[in-house]
Amino acid sequence: MSKLNLKPEDRIILALDFPEFKEAKSWVERLKVRVKTFKVGPILFLNSGPTVLKEFIENGAKIFLDLKFHDIPSTVEKSSRQVVGYGIKMFTIHALGGFEMMKKAVEAVKEESEKLSKPKPLILAVTILTSQNEESLKQIGINGSSQDAVLRLASLADKARVDGLVASGREVEILRKEFGNRFTLVVPGIRTGTRADDHLRAVTPAEAVSQGADYLVIGRVVTEARDPEAVLDEIVLSVSQSN
């Protein structure tokens, strides 16, 4: 079961993977009635920087900052402190950075939130990217199944007291079985029909939620559709039926 008691429409995070602020802003304005949380990743952030965070938050949007910090512990600690000041909802670090790196991020966010009297953003540890499979993991020295790798990284994240995980929908069920409601689970690689793009471990919205996902990151399925609003409504309906 999902950790959070969310309405189906509140589970959706729209990925703003656009190279220009103007285009991203138009999508926020167009869909903010249907979507509350928007993902800002490196493509948009490199174009617009912190400005995009401030403007969207001021307009009532919640932000999932997906920059996937992965560096030495002191650098990730300082980066995490910077994040707190913007008032975002959640942000990502890479679990592959290791226990010490994740622990430093957790401590930094707690301290900075208390210092600034700001709400503490959720820290999400990215496990194994949905574009990877056993073959590609073997190329970088990770043997065994992707599920085994995800569980090992989740155990480290648990020890470091990270708030949540980013994982494929195919690993959600085993994560819930192993950790219960310990983590907020965010699932990217959400696809409808037979379309998967570059996600090798994609799942449908209904599959992800039925397995225990809290949030679904959805991008091209919506933003490249002829009728984005209709696609979103269909996704919300399928999610409501799988709760």
Residue 143: what residue type? N
Helices (H), 49-202: 50-58, 73-84, 99-116, 134-139, 146-159, 169-179
Give dist(CA 234, CA 231) in Å, integer: 5
120 is catalytic: no
In this structure, what DSSP letter does residue 36 have?
A: -
Contacts of 60 (CB under 8 A, 6+ apart): 32
SS3 98: coil
Residue of 68, 89, 103, 104 with catalytic role = 68
Neighbours of 174 (CB within 10 A): 17
Distances 92 to 100, 124, 163, 224, 237 between C-alpha atoms, Å: 16, 5, 10, 25, 28
Residue 178: what residue type? E
Cα angle vertex 138, ends 134, 140, to 5°? 125
When computed from its CA atoms, the radius of gyration of the chain, rounded to whole angstroms, is 17
Contacts of 3 (CB under 8 A, 6+ apart): 181, 182, 183, 184, 185, 212, 214
Q: Annotated active-site positions, please?
A: 68
